[in-house]
Amino acid sequence: MMMVADCKRTVLATDLDGTFLGGGASARAQLYSWIADRREEFIVIFVSGRGLGFMRELADCLPVRPDHVIGNVGTSVAAGPDWCPLADIESWLDARWPNDAPARIAEVLARYPGLTEQPVVEGRRVSRYYSDHVEAMAAQADVEQLGFEVLLSDGQYFDVLPPGVRKGPTLLRTLTALGLARERTLVAGDTLNDLSLFETGLAGVAVGNSEPELVHAVRARPNVHLSAKPGAAGVLEALKAFHERGGLWEHRLS
């Protein structure tokens, strides 16, 4: 079978936890099977807060392997079957994350004992868990004085990122670097660390189990469908409609 040209393939750029990996086993199986049956028509990009190491292991277990991955909340990119870096994106990321960034950020966060270290952190970021929102907001203000950005999500994740770098901006640069069409791209997510995906203006679906703060933030966005179905079922609902309409998107699906 002849491969569809990349510029005409549907791109699914999806978060993992709670989204592509969310919902029941039957729903996940239906999503993966539907994509696998049409695999030559799709480009699949995992866009996650997870590290590249985790995604490599995951890719070996799933029936649908990603074509490209964006990890660590947009601070790492690996392209193609060999998981190669993209030079232009690496330069962009490096310019925003000086070598002393982790040490400077750690010095500030040491003032906040309620922020505890996450066990595995990769990429150009510093990440903590938090339980006290007031403390997290105070730490955010102090870190932002250093010129970095802080992303709070899912009521527990505190991520310090390079300025201007999140999932959405990195995805847009990745699409450009790979020659993939924005108008054929559907994004999917469920927490506030996915908000930047929807802020790109790309067609999107916030799945039914989405964080309430994310739902509030995207409710009025004409590019975003709010699915009533959780996880994989919500992704499949939107992906079917988007793909079958050739990218002609009506976010209020009937």
Write the pLDDT tens digit of every residue in 151-208: 999 999 999 999 999 999 999 999 999 999 999 999 999 999 999 999 999 999 999 9
Residue 140 domain flag: yes
Residue at which a domain ends, from 143, 161, 179: 161
Query: Does residue 69 sit in the same domain as residue 135?
Result: no
DSSP state of 18: I
80 & 181 share domain: yes
- What single DSSP character describes residue 4? P
Mean pLDDT over 57-73 rounds to 96
Q: The domain spanning residue 122 has which CATH number?
A: 3.90.1070.10
Residue with tokens 């569809």: 4
Give the mean pLDDT of the chain: 94
Q: Could you give the CA distance from residue 187 to residue 11 in angstroms, rounded to a whole number? A: 8
Do the domain assignments include residue 1? Answer: no
In this structure, the answer to whether residues 87 and 203 fall within a common structural domain is yes
How many domains does the chain divide into? 2
Same domain, 177 and 239: yes
Alpha carbon distance 108, 138 (integer Å): 11
CB atoms within 10 A of CB 24: 12
Shared domain for 77 and 170, answered yes or no, is yes
What pLDDT is stored for residue 122 in this prediction? 87
User: Within this chain, do residues 135 and 236 fall inside the same structural domain, yes or no?
Assistant: no
Q: Are residues 146 and 216 in the same domain?
A: no
Query: Euclidean distance between the first and final Cα of the chain, in Å?
Result: 33
Using the predicted structure, report yes or no on whether residue 236 has a pLDDT greater than 90.
yes
Q: Residue 7's pLDDT band (boundaries 50, 70, 90)? A: low
Task: Decide which of 135, 161, 187 is a domain's last residue.
Answer: 161
Considering the domain boundaries, does residue 130 fall inside one?
yes
List the CATH number of the domain containing 54.
3.40.50.1000
User: Which of the listed residues 112, 139, 161 is the one where a domain comes to its end?
Assistant: 161
d(CA 207, CA 235): 7
Percent pLDDT > 90 in the chain is 91
Which distant-in-sequence residues (6+ apart) come within 8 Å of 186 by Cβ?
A: 10, 11, 12, 13, 202, 203, 204, 205, 238, 239, 242, 243, 249
Q: Would you say 54 and 62 are in contact if contact means Cβ atoms under 8 Å apart? A: no
Are both 209 and 223 inside the same structural domain?
A: yes
Residue 134 and residue 79 share a domain = no
Q: Which domain holds residue 57?
A: 6-92+165-244
The pLDDT assigned to 253 comes to: 73
Dihedrals phi, psi of 77, to nearest 5 degrees: -135, 135
Looking at the fold, whether 179 and 88 belong to one and the same domain comes out as: yes
Clarify whether residues 48 and 114 are in a common domain: no
Residue/partner pairs of 95-98 with CB below 8 Å, 24 or more apart: 96/124, 96/162, 96/163, 96/164, 96/165, 97/124, 97/162, 97/165
Whether residues 224 and 106 fall in one domain: no
* β-strand partners of 151: 159
The band of 247, judged by pLDDT with boundaries at 50, 70 and 90, is confident
